[in-house]
Amino acid sequence: MVIDLSTLAGWLNAREGERLEFKAARDSYSPEKLTRYMVALANEGGGHLVMGVTDRMPRQVCGSQAYSEYADRQKELTTLLRLRITVTELHHPDGRVLVWSVPSHHRGVPIKYQDVYWARSGESLVSMTEERLRELLGGYSHGWDFSAEICQGATLADLDPAYTLRFRQLWALRATRNMQDRAEAERRSREILDKTDEQALADSSLLEPEGVTYAALILMGRERSLTRYLPQAEVIFECRADRASIGNQVRENHRRGFLGYFDTLWDAINQHNDPFEFPAGMLRLTAFPFNEAVVREGVLNAVAHRDYRSQDSAFVRQWPFELEIESPGGFPEGVTAENILGQRRWRNRRVAEALERCGLVERSGQGYDLMLRESLREAKPRPSYEGTDDQRVLLHLRGAVENPTFLGVMDAIGNERLKTFDVHDFLILDEVFQAGRTSADRKRVDRLTGMGIIERVGRGKLMLARRFYTAAGKTGAYTRSKGLARPQQKELLVQHLQESQPRGAAAGELSEVLPSLTRFQILSLLKELRRERRIYLQGERRSARWFTGPDPLDAG
């Protein structure tokens, strides 16, 4: 809506109602009251607060000196309300008029300020009634989708034809990927490619009878259109030489439809994805810090799950061995860093469904399982959400190889077999390699044992199978991990006792000889040696000490 002096003339004779609020504000106006009125107007469907006009009929322009510099307050309100606040300054013959405009609250999401859902009642601001609040929530409090909303004013001309074509191409590829009948696959592909932009978007629920959805704008919008309607829907890429660097080696702003830059963004990252060498026994192997599938999944998550009501941009920051993806808004409701592997929540479902349609994501999950699986497979640190809060999600991807031995064992297992493993299988392999045990479901462990991937080497102890260590040239690592056999453990205890004569040794001291064993396992070995009359115990409790030889009391 264009607001000019003719618009103002019409308002002067209009009744003050749901869409209009008039304030004289000759000298100043309280920022607190302004915020409350903006909230109340948004909760009532959007409207305008007009400063510099008397509120009683016959209404007159009196001029206002309030907010001579209004840009900062405008930005603060936009950030606070997560709505696009605009300000129009009019120069009327009788004085300056300032019009603050606020759109409607998003469907199912009325706005709260200072723990109050503000509304207007006559000349006053009051808390919204429970009945009205329930009506506005309308069952959308947990299922509302910003990306499914209509972007008022946007048309098909705001979408880039190159991006809508790319959407149809990816859609056709995804739809025919597993089709065995070549003729049928070609027919189906042509059917999708021959759709008009309008038809393809409507079939994908990106275009509704009421207009273009925000999802369409996020995925296919022109740069100028996003700048006008949704400037925060951008991804900013920064690359730095190290953490201590202040300046960027590279900075790229991607403010256009996601389908127009998702390949370009990976290319920029890969330009600085320099290979590195790491020791692997007598050899030095080469690897790359960042896995393309993992990085793409992280970026896709940022696009599909970010809060587009926030005015902040998404960022991808790269250092030589770390990639950080920051997206506005915390985790979707019910999701935490601890339970993210098992949660299935979408914040922008319409975007997610479109990305699934063109084969870029699997809507059944959030992609964390893929990122975790690939990171474990490459012996890299697990993806981390350290620093995430209610205002942003921070995903950290680290590129250094943590344990070359584990990587060698994964290679020995083989890519074809690993393709059949899900993320939980990789978690078991990692836990068994690191700790020699796992808390995973017994059926899963038995399955991997039956496949010969894991072997049992003692009571409660598990190991990755010896043949994989052998194939990787890591038999020494296998022996160290497996530990000494029971007879060897007993000989070490006896040897230590012989060297401790004549004072003997306490049980706690013997635990240091075999630090990988528990106290009860040490006691079991000592009892067995005592039955063999190779050692004996003298004293009780804290003063008790072990000695070599048969027990003197038995000889008597």
Domain edges within the chain: 5-141, 156-229, 235-398, 404-482, 486-555
Q: Give 368-379 pLDDT, tens digit per residue.
A: 888 999 999 899
pLDDT at 364 > cutoff 90: no
Q: Which CATH class is domain 5-141?
A: alpha beta
Q: Give 130-152 pLDDT, tens digit per residue.
A: 777 766 765 444 457 889 989 98
**DSSP letter assigned to residue 61:** B
Residue at token pair 């951008």:
234
Q: Which CATH class is domain 486-555?
A: mainly alpha
Fold of 235-398: Heat Shock Protein 90 (3.30.565)
| 486-555 and 404-482 share a CATH fold | yes
Q: Pick 224 or 491 by higher pLDDT.
A: 224
- Residue 139 has what pLDDT? 45
- Residue 403 has what pLDDT? 81
Give the least confident one: 79-83, 256-260, 292-296. 79-83
Q: Pick 229 or 334 by higher pLDDT.
A: 229
- Residue 473 has what pLDDT? 63
Give the least confident one: 69-83, 167-181, 363-377, 539-553. 363-377
Q: Which residues are CB-contacts of 416 (< 8 A; sequence separation ≥ 6)? A: none
| Mean of the per-residue pLDDT values of the chain | 86
- Residue 480 has what pLDDT? 57
Collapsing DSSP to helix, strand or coil, 554 comes out as helix
- pTM beyond 0.85, yes or no: no
pLDDT at 297 > cutoff 60: yes
- Yes or no: is domain 404-482 CATH 1.10.10? yes
- Residue 507 has what pLDDT? 82
Collapsing DSSP to helix, strand or coil, 394 comes out as strand
DSSP 204-258: TTSEETTEEBHHHHHHHB-HHHHHHH-TT--EEEEE-SSTT--S-SEEEEE-S-G
Token readout for 14 is 């209009």
Q: Pick 294 or 476 by higher pLDDT.
A: 294
- Best CA proximity match to 458, nearest among 402, 517, 513: 517
